[in-house]
Structure 1
C-alpha cells in the first residue's frame, strides 16, 4: 500500500508523475492540484488522489522564472536582453542539472547533478566550462548571477553596466 506523505516540492513549476504521465504543475491549492501533460488539456485533481496514486513522484522543477512585464524587456537593448537569456540557460543548468529545454527524463551531466554535487561545486564547474569555451566567468560571477536570478528572475541577469545613463522605464 502506498503511504500518504507530504512531498516538499509539489509547487507551481514542478514536474510530477501522475497516472503514468509526466505533468507540469500549474496551480496548487488545498482543494486541487492543476496540472497538464505536454500538449494535453489541464487537469485538476484533489491532492489526496494525487498522493494516493501508486506511480506518483516529484520529478523535479526545471521551469524558468516568470518573465518581467513585457514593457521592461522591450526597453532593454537587444544585445543586453540576449545576454540575459544566454545566462539564464547556464544558471538553470547550475540550479537543476539540465537546461530548460531538456526533456523531463533528461539526465544531468555528472558535474551538474544536484543529487551528487553541491551548488558550490556546480557553480565552479559552470565557471570552468564557460572559461574553457572563451567566456571569462569566475565562480563568484556565476554564484552572484544565480542568486540574482533566484531573487529577481530574468531582470537579475541584466548587466546593469550596459544600462548606465539610460532612462529608467516608469
Structure 2
C-alpha cells in the first residue's frame, strides 16, 4: 500500500480533496497553500507536515489522476487492433474521464517538476513504431483540447470531435 493514500476522515484526506479541486480549477501556479489550508480548515503547517511542499502535494495528486486516466486509456486501446483506432479510443476515453472528474486543467498543464507524465509515456509507447515523433503533436493536441475544455473555449463534444478529426485518414 502506498504511504500517501489517506485514511478517510483524516487531515491528509481533507487536504487532498481540497487540493484536487483547487489544482483542477486553478492549475499549479494558481494555487496558494495558505488559501488551500484555510479551505481545508487546516494551518499551512499541517499541509507542509503531511506533504512537505506544494510541489509534492501536486505530484501526489497529479500522479494519482494520471494513473486513473491511463488505466482507462489502456483498456480502451486494448479493444482495437489498428493502432490509429486504438489511440483515438484511448484519447476519447481520456477526455471523457477528465471531463467527468473535472480535471481537464490539471492534466492540460505541463508538470512543474521534471518527471514525464504517464499520459506522455503512454502516447510515446503507442506511437513508437512511427518514423516521426508524433507523440509531440498528439501530446500537444491532447493538452490543448483539455485546456480549451477547462476554460470553456470548446465543449466536451467539440473536444471529442477534434480528437476524431486528428485521426481521419
* Structure with a larger share of its residues in helix: 2
Query: What is the TM-score normalised by the length of structure 1?
Result: 0.34
Question: TM-score when scaled to structure 2?
Answer: 0.34
The one of the two structures with greater contact order (alpha-carbon pairs below 8 A, sep at least 6) is: 2
